[in-house]
Amino acid sequence: MRKRLKSLLSVVTKEEKVAKKRREEARYAANQTAKTAINSWSAAGERVISEGQAMVLEEYYFKLLDFKKKLEEAAKESIPESIEEYCYIKILLDGKEDEFYLVDNPLNISHVKLVSKGSALGKSLLGKRMGDEFSFSLGEG
């Protein structure tokens, strides 16, 4: 098992537990708000908001589960000879060392830097080997 991915998997597993709890709490709050909205026009707006929050947290939770599944599969593989998705990467960028994970669809997880394989940097890194030099452009702007 790849050490760095195993470490990331540990963080994602903790995040999954937190996300599950938030999802359940938001769903409960939305249900409670829906009960009070039956008799009150002013509570109807709150119902829509709480249902929206519950949906956002539910979507995040399921994206996290999918991310975890892909990460578990990648962690079982041997260390690749060239950069591919679900890789730990350490690079020298503009004279500064930077570390991150290259992934398919990054999520917002505290204290973890995830870079999309579809980003300018990600596209430039795919297929590179250790020691390769490369350049990339962020486009016009």
Closest of 97, 77, 95 to residue 3, by C-alpha? 77
- DSSP category for residue 70: H
The string of pLDDT tens digits covering residues 11-49 is 999 999 999 999 999 999 988 887 776 676 666 778 788
pLDDT reading at 5 higher than 60: yes
Query: Can you give the pTM of this predicted structure?
Result: 0.85
Q: Which residue has the tokens 């009150």?
A: 40
